[in-house]
Each structure stands twice: as C-alpha cells, then as structure tokens.
Structure 1
Amino acid sequence: MKAFVIESGKLKVKNMNEPQAKAGEVVVALKTAGLNRRDLGLPKRYGDRPEELIIGSDGAGIIEVIGEGVSRFSVGDEVLINPALRWYDNSDAPPQGFDILGMPDHGTFAEKIALSAEQIEPKPDYLSWEEAGSLALAAMTGYRALFTKGELKKGDTVFIPGAGSGVATYLIQFAKNAGAKVIVTSRSKEKLEQAKRLGADIAIDTASDWKEELAEETIDLVIDSVGRATFNRSLEVLKKGGRIVIFGATTEDNVDFNLRQFFYGQYQLYGSTMGSRDELRAMLSHIEEHGTHSLVDKVFRLEDAQEAFDYLAEGKQFGKVVLQISE
C-alpha cells in the first residue's frame, strides 16, 4: 500500500506492507485523512531514525477486516478514527498511556490502517468523506476547550484570537450552536470575512488595539492557541473573574505575565489538549443535532502529501487541509 512516511529524517510517499488486524483490532481502508499542525513538527521530533513511520492522526474510511473479538462493528461499516489513544472516560487530564495517533504508532496517511476497535466511531451519515476524515482531532480539541474546560453557556461572549485554524472554525460554530456571542481576530481581511460568514459576530484585525475595539464588550471566555503573541493581550480584554483556556502555542511557548494583576483580577486559567472518547462522542452528538459541517479548505491527493504539508505550513488556509486517499 502507499503511505506518507518519515524515513531517515525525510518525508516521502512509499510502498509499505499492508497492516494486519490483531485480536480486538480492525483494518480500515481509508478514504480521506486530515492534516493538523501537529504533523508539521513530527519530522523534527522523530529525527533520523531509519525505521519508517506513517504519520497522520485524522482519517475516515470503510472497515475491511474485523479481528477476533470485535463485535461492535462489521465489515463495510463507514467509520472515523479517534486519534486520542487510550483516553476513554472524561477526566481532568489524560490518563497514563495516552498518546496521539501518528507517533509513536503508525498513522492515517496511508491506504489502510490497523488499530483497536476502541479507536473508531461510526461516521455521521451527512458528512462527506472529506469532512469526516478531517474532523476528530480539531473538533474534539475545540469541544473540550469550549465546553469541558471553558464551561461555555448560552449568553456568554467568547473571544478567539486567530480565526483561520481548523480548531477555530469548529469553535465558532460550536459556540454559536450554544447561543454564545463570538469574537475573532485575524491579520487577513479574507479570513475575517470568512469567519463572519461562518457565524462570528465580531471580527477584528489582530494588529488593532483590542482594548479599544472591544471596549463595549464583556468577554467571559478566551480560547487561545497562539501563545506568547496574544496571551497578555487576551488577558487585557477578559472580564475580571473570566476564564482563559489554552490548547496550543503556535508562537513561543514561554509567556511572562504579571501575577499580581492576575490574582487581583481573579482570572481562571486552564490548559486543555485533545479530549476523551466521551467528549468525542458528545461532540459527534452535538454536530449531528445542529447539522454542523467541517470547513474544508483544500484537498490534495496522497501522492501530493508534501505539497499539502507545504500549504499548511504557509498558514493561509481557512479550515482543514485534507488528503484524498482513495476515490
């Protein structure tokens, strides 16, 4: 089978042996797979090891083989893959043994994948293959950050710096589904317009004076994945006693902030990453209830995976970048 791998420090498409289903596993013939920013950093993390690693965390396809002991699924079922490995019950933090699919385990940028039947869920019928294959990681991350950690409720105002990421497109839609007011930022006028079409109530330039632009707003919750470039600016517009949830750091990881101002403001700071199977299933119920779709920016063939990587690295996308594995 064809797969997109890291081998000796390089990314390449090459032929690999087809996976076999062990007891408790299934083999999924993948239709599509979604790229995530996590994937961009894997070559550096994996290093120069000569053993091939198939990367990729998101995917959707059709069950081709059922391993011994699997009773919940059948050959021919349409499924999507849960990339949060071995995290089943909702908890304050991931349990011991938690990993993300695609390193150290072989991932989804391949024609087939074998994995535990505990890591797949039925594909929502109304989603296209492109939508389903790019859904789980970003949408589950957004769902946990917004509802489990951020405790968003109807009537709240949520502020989301950076409007174009895959997670942000779900955050906007989920928050609007819940009856919240949504404010986003971007440096791109095109992305600001796209965010408004998606449901954002207010969309402002990242380079503007946020305190001035939002002087009339009461922001209950900030969901920030940018990091050092926006953290303190986000705190400045958050109401006293408000909540800020961090699920990523696309700029520098380390942040300096004034502790005295923070504790006098009674702010609440939460870290979040990915989500449990409970939250994935809750998210799937949420999108089906509201008819929410994934926003797919661009689709590439598996053979053009390097081009897809380069496109994602440029950061020009609004929504998800997807690999088409098979017709």
Structure 2
Amino acid sequence: MTTQKAIVLHGANEPLILKEVPIPAIGQDEALVRVKAAAFNRRDWWIQQGRYAGLKFPIVLGSDGAGVVERVGGDDHRYWVGREVVINPSLWWGDNEAFQGKSFRILGLPDDGTFAEFVTVPVTNLHEKPDHLSFEEAAALPLGGLTAYRALFSRAGLKDGDNVLVVGAGGGVATFALQWALHGGARVFVTSSAPSKIEQAKTLGAEGGVLYTNENWAKQLQEQAGGFDIIVDSALGEGVAHYPDLANPGGRIVFFGGTAGDIPALNARKLFWKQLSLLGTTMGSPADFAAMLAFVNQHRIVPVIHATYPLEEAEAALRQMDRSTQFGKIVLNVS
C-alpha cells in the first residue's frame, strides 16, 4: 500500500477535502504511526481562515493524534513497533526549558499532521498511550493539554490551595486548565459567554463562574471567590484591565492567546505594589509533555470530548468551531 486517505486543505477559506495521498516516508529517527484518532484545535480553524503565520498549501492539518506505530526508520527504535502511542506535537523545542528554540514548529503546519491514516513524527515525540484512555480520549490530549499544563505548572507554579480563574470555559485548552487545576488541588472559578458552559464547568468541579458578557462580571467574581492566585487567559482583550484588581498579592497572570485583541492600558502601580507577574507561554517542552502524561496517569484523568466525527466529516466537524458552542474537544475517528 502506497497511498492513504487524508484530509487536505488546499488554500485559505477552502473546505477540508478527503483525498488519496502518498503515505509519508520516514527517516532514520522517525516513526510512521497508523492514526486511530485525531482532534481539532483552534489552530486548525485559524489556518483554514488564512489567519495564521507560515501558511503553506496543500497541507494535512492536525496536531493531535493517537495510534499504533507501524514502522520505524532504524533498528535502534524497534521497541516502538506495534506500541499504542500518543504524539507530542511540539517538534524540535530546543535545549532551553524557558523558551522554544528557532527550529521549533508544531505538527500540522508546516509538516503534514494527524488528519490522515498515517503520520510521520520523530521517535522522540512518541509516548506510551495512557492505558485508561481510549484512542479518542488520548488523541484529545496533546496540544491543548500540554499548553494548559505548562501555563499552570511550569509558568504559573500552581500549588495546592491556589485560587484559579480560568477565562473562557469551554474551549479545549481552558477545559484542560480546569481539569489540571482541580487535580492539582486548586479552587477553580471560570468565566464564559454561556450559562450552560458555566454549569458544565461546575459539573467537572468548578466552584462557580460568571458571564463575562455581564457589565459587572469582575465584581461578581470577587464576591464569589475573593481574589485569584492564578488567572489563565487565552483571549486578551479589554477584560484584562480587571486582572490586577482580581489578582491576589503575588498573583500570576498567564496568557497563551490573543483572539479578543491586545492587552489594554494597565495601572502598573497595582502590578508592582501587589508583586504581580504577567507570564507569556505557548505549547511546552518535552519535559512538560512527559510531566503532563504522568499527571494524567497519576490522577486517571479523562479528557472532555464534545463530539466525535468520522474522518470524512472533518469539514463538518471544523464548522462546529464557527459557533464556539463546544465544551471540550472535537475528535475524529480515523481508522
């Protein structure tokens, strides 16, 4: 067999199309993984919209995937053949834990990703699939789980008893942030634009939440929670102006996205007087990924899946993101 089924994007604002494409070749230190399940991230949506850096077409999207190792490029890696794996999509992070190097890239652009029957990845990016998770559940983990784990633990230093605010509950990374914080011993509150998402967050263990569309949302949060040791935000925008007031002294405010705009003018006096930290983060290192999987295995955590689609309905699955109504991950059954 020399060809495979894959979901291909041929250009900005074009639909995802199921096609027959060549099975990718593998190098000496690479593995060919038969993908069992893959998952969407907001990144895939932005690429299709033509609003992402380094666009390249045609491209097989998909950063998240789990499957079985079909073959490897060198005998030194024979251990992996036949193993059930989850893929770390953070490629070539570099030698510094503090930040990614110049060679860093994310699986699914510029390299063809997981929305295909097979994907080629470096052997160093293979990890044993947690045995308590299905392929669909494991496929939901990588990008969102890694981003949330690094934001909370590596960057913000989450510890037992912290008060945590997760902004924008419902998205993949925010849902992982909620789960990670809860299992890390934190007291968690959320914001959302939909009452149903706040209720779903409470079902998972959040103590409360408010609609950020309400004029007095920040005051309502203070009444519910007091203040926050960690604020996790993926949107930025005007709401950030309230964070210095919402943060406890010594608080950490960590960002990993900017879909709602830029940071507004802030009263820096509150930042230095309260000893606040503003932290930027993105994705995570190999050490972060290994620590995340260990955390998942220790607590037997199961990712939240909003919906599962067959591979051929990838375009319909991505259209669900247009409305931002999902709570958790959107997954593809591949093979």
Tell me the distance in 1 between the aligned counterparts of 2:55 and 2:37: 27
Partner of 1:257: 266
Per mean C-alpha deviation after superposition, the further-off stretch among 34-43 and 89-98 is 89-98
Mark the runs of 5 or more structure 2 residues left unpaired by the alignment: none
Partner Cα distance (2:231, 2:285) in 1? 22
Does the CA-based 8 Å contact 2:29-2:73 persist in structure 1? yes
Contact 2:94 2:104 in 1 (8 A): no
The match for 1:294 is 303
Q: Which amino acid aligns with 1:3?
A: A
Q: Is the 8 A contact 2:169 2:175 kept in 1?
A: yes
Structure 1 position 285 matched with structure 2 position 291: no
**Given that residues 209 and 221 in structure 2 are in contact (C-alpha distance below 8 angstroms), is that contact kept between their aligned partners in structure 1?**
no
1:253-286 deviation digits (Å, cap 9, x = unpaired): 3533233343333321000100011111101111
User: Superposed, which structure 2 residues align to 1:1-327 within 5 Å?
Assistant: 1-9=4-12, 10-11=14-15, 12-43=17-48, 44-45=50-51, 51-71=57-77, 73-87=79-93, 91-208=97-214, 209=216, 210-215=218-223, 217-326=226-335
The alignment's TM-score, normalised by the length of structure 1, stands at 0.94
Displacement of 1:41? 1.3
Aligned-residue offset at 1:176: 1.4
* CA pair 185-20 structure 1, distance change in 2 beyond 3 A: same
Letter aligned with residue 56 of structure 1: G
Distance 1:50 1:142, change over 3 A: closer
Residues 1:64 and 1:227: Cα distance change in structure 2 (over 3 Å): same
**CA distance in structure 1 between the aligned counterparts of 2:51 and 2:191, rounded to whole angstroms:** 30
> In the superposition, relative to structure 1, how do residues 49 and 138 fare at CA in structure 2: closer, same or farther (>3 Å)?
closer
Q: Name the aligned partner's letter for residue 243 of structure 1.
A: R
Which amino acid in 1 is paired with 2:129? Answer: K
Distance 2:53 2:183 in 1: 42
* Secondary structure class of the residue paired with 2:306: strand
Secondary structure at 1:61's aligned position in 2?
strand
In structure 2, the CA distance between the partners of 1:266 and 1:184, relative to structure 1 (3 Å rule), is: same
Question: Quick check: 1:7–1:49 contact (8 Å CA) kept in 2?
Answer: no
Q: CA deviation at 1:47?
A: 9.8
Q: Tell me which moved more, 7-16 or 75-84.
A: 7-16
Q: Is the 8 A contact 1:90 1:278 kept in 2?
A: no
Deviation at 1:155, TM superposition (A): 1.0
The percent identity for this pair of structures is 39
Distance 1:261 1:87, change over 3 A: same
The Cα shift of 1:111 comes to 0.8
Aligned CA RMSD, in angstroms, stands at: 2.0
Give the CA deviation at 1:69: 4.2
Structure 1 unaligned segments of length 5 or more: list them.
none
Q: CA deviation at 1:51?
A: 4.8
CA contact (8 A) 2:238 2:263 kept: no
C-alpha displacement at 1:6, in angstroms? 1.9
State the distance in 2 between where 1:129 and 1:236 align: 42
Pick closer, same or farther for the CA change 1:198–1:310 going to 2, 3 Å: same
- Whether contact under 8 Å (2:31, 2:73) holds in the other structure is yes
TM-score normalised by L of structure 2? 0.92
Could you tell me how far apart the structure 2 residues matched to 1:262 and 1:41 are?
32
Q: Distance in 2 between matches of 1:5 and 1:96?
A: 27
- Greater CA drift, 213-222 or 158-167: 213-222
Distance in 2, Cα, partners of 1:273 & 1:75: 31
- Using the TM superposition, name which of 139-148 and 217-226 deviates more: 217-226
2: CA distance, partners of 1:203 / 1:46: 31
**Which letter maps to 2:222?**
L
Q: Contact conserved, 1:24 with 1:69, CA < 8 A, in 2?
A: no
The Cα offsets for residues 142-196 of structure 1, whole Å up to 9 and x where unpaired, read as 1100011110111110111111011122111211112111011112111111100
Post-superposition offset of 1:218: 2.7
